[in-house]
Structure 1
Amino acid sequence: MFFLSDMLNKKLNLPKPEEALPGRDRPIPTAEKHFVSGRPLKGPYPEGMEKAMFGLGCFWGAERMFWQMDGVWGTAVGYAGGVTPNPTYQETCTGLTGHAEVVLVVFDPKIVPYAELLKAFWENHDPTQGMRQGNDVGTTYRSAIYTFGEAQHQAALASRDAYEASLRGAGRGKITTEIAPAPEFYFAEEDHQQYLAKNPYGYCNLRGTGVACAMPQPASA
């Protein structure tokens, strides 16, 4: 019984550096092209594109949501926010790498502003659940926004505060989403890239709270 509770505790708490799995020096193999669009998974990306990174539970359904949005040029799933270099899927699932499952989104801000990506992020999962998302339990399923640049960071913070007010009004709890500058992104294995395009009836745990996210208006100059 002690062993089971100890394992659960590890999955619900981020590992200290000395507790993390060692990983490896080289990236793990992944796909060369996006299964849906045929575009290069790792770039080069066209001029004018920007990047965003989100964790909202299991990355299969989250990636499909983003690749279906107008203005999104490309997506990829991977691991970020942890300690272990170049982790595998099996390693992240132990909770001993510290990584979250995340989606890297490459988008055209002239077509889909970053605020629209944030709105989709907030409305399509429950950001109040801590180290879990529904029945998916563990640090790898935590809610996270990893930002590229100060403008994204401030927009993410403002949207969190606005959505937390809406959630509070609906009787929901406090947002636990991690918001931090984008760490290194490790591409997941080929099998996981665009998983639900390859397996249309595969597992998808994407669930919103039913509370709409009214995005705050940017401050005028």
Structure 2
Amino acid sequence: MFFLSDMLNKKLKMPAPAEALPGRDRPIPTASKHYVSKRPLKGPYPEGLEQAMFGLGCFWGAERLFWQAPGVWVTAVGYAGGITPNPTYQETCTGLTGHAEVVLVVFDPKEVAYGQLLKIFWEAHDPTQGMRQGNDVGTTYRSAIYTYGEAQQAEAIASREAYQAALKSAGRDKITTEIAPAPEFYFAEEDHQQYLAKNPYGYCGLKGTGVSCAIPQQA
């Protein structure tokens, strides 16, 4: 029983650099094209497109939300925000890489505003749960927004403050979402890319709070 409790505690706490798995020098193999759109997963992406990165629990269901959104050019799932270089899925599940499961979203800002992507993010999960999302427990499933540039950082923070006010009015807890400049994104294995398009009845643990998110207007 002590062993099981110790393992759970480790998954709920970010590893120290000395505890992290070593990883590898080279990227792990993944798909070359998006299973749904057939567009190149790793680019090159067309000029004028922008990137966003979100962690909201298991990345299978999270990715589907974003590839279905109008104005999104391509999506990919992967690992970010940790220590271990080029981790595998099995390694991240131990909690000893420090990475969150995330979705990389490449979008056309002329067709979909970053604020609209933030709204999808906030409303699709419960950002108050710390190192878990529903029955998915561990640092891998933490809520995170990794931003590209000062404008995204400012908008993400403003949206968090607005949604916190809405959650407080609904009697909900404090938001635990991490907001930070985008770290390196490591593409997950091919099996995980667009998983729910390949497995329509596969697991999706996403469950929002039911509280609407009104994104503040940007100047």
- Fold in common (TM above 0.5): yes
Percent identity (aligned): 84
User: Letter of the aligned partner of 2:74 in structure 1?
Assistant: G
User: Letter of the aligned partner of 2:27 in structure 1?
Assistant: P
Aligned to 1:59: 59
Q: Distance in 2 between matches of 1:3 and 1:61?
A: 31
Q: Distance in 2 between matches of 1:206 and 1:49?
A: 27
RMSD value, Cα? 0.4
Structure 2 unaligned blocks of 5 or more: none
Equivalent residue pairs, number: 219
Q: Distance in 1 between matches of 2:217 and 2:194?
A: 33
Aligned to 2:195: 195
User: Letter of the aligned partner of 1:152 in structure 2?
Assistant: Q
Aligned to 2:149: 149
Q: Distance in 1 between matches of 2:42 and 2:166?
A: 37
Q: Distance in 1 between matches of 2:20 and 2:213?
A: 36
Q: Distance in 1 between matches of 2:197 and 2:108?
A: 22
Report the alpha carbon displacement of residue 218 of structure 1 after superposing the two structures with TM.
1.5
Report the alpha carbon displacement of residue 40 of structure 1 after superposing the two structures with TM.
0.3
Q: Distance in 1 between matches of 2:80 and 2:65?
A: 19
Aligned to 2:79: 79
Aligned to 1:117: 117
User: Letter of the aligned partner of 1:73 in structure 2?
Assistant: W
Q: Distance in 1 between matches of 2:49 and 2:205?
A: 29
Aligned to 1:50: 50
Q: Distance in 1 between matches of 2:83 and 2:123?
A: 29
Report the alpha carbon displacement of residue 206 of structure 1 after superposing the two structures with TM.
1.1
User: Letter of the aligned partner of 1:69 in structure 2?
Assistant: A
User: Letter of the aligned partner of 2:44 in structure 1?
Assistant: P
Aligned to 1:20: 20
Deviations for 1:126-159, whole angstroms, at most 9, x for unmatched residues?
0000000000000000000000000000000000
Report the alpha carbon displacement of residue 26 of structure 1 after superposing the two structures with TM.
0.5
Aligned to 1:186: 186
Deviations for 1:4-62, whole angstroms, at most 9, x for unmatched residues?
11101110000000000000011000000000000000000001100000000000000
Deviations for 1:58-90, whole angstroms, at most 9, x for unmatched residues?
000000000000000000000000000000000
Secondary structure class of the residue paired with 1:153 = helix
Aligned to 2:170: 170
In the TM superposition, 1:89-108 aligns within 5 A as 89-108=89-108
Secondary structure class of the residue paired with 2:42 = coil
Following TM superposition, where does structure 1 have runs of at least 4 consecutive aligned residues deviating by more than 6 angstroms?
none
Q: Distance in 1 between matches of 2:208 and 2:110?
A: 27
Report the alpha carbon displacement of residue 2 of structure 1 after superposing the two structures with TM.
1.6
User: Letter of the aligned partner of 2:155 in structure 1?
Assistant: A
Q: Distance in 2 between matches of 1:176 and 1:12?
A: 13
User: Letter of the aligned partner of 2:125 in structure 1?
Assistant: H
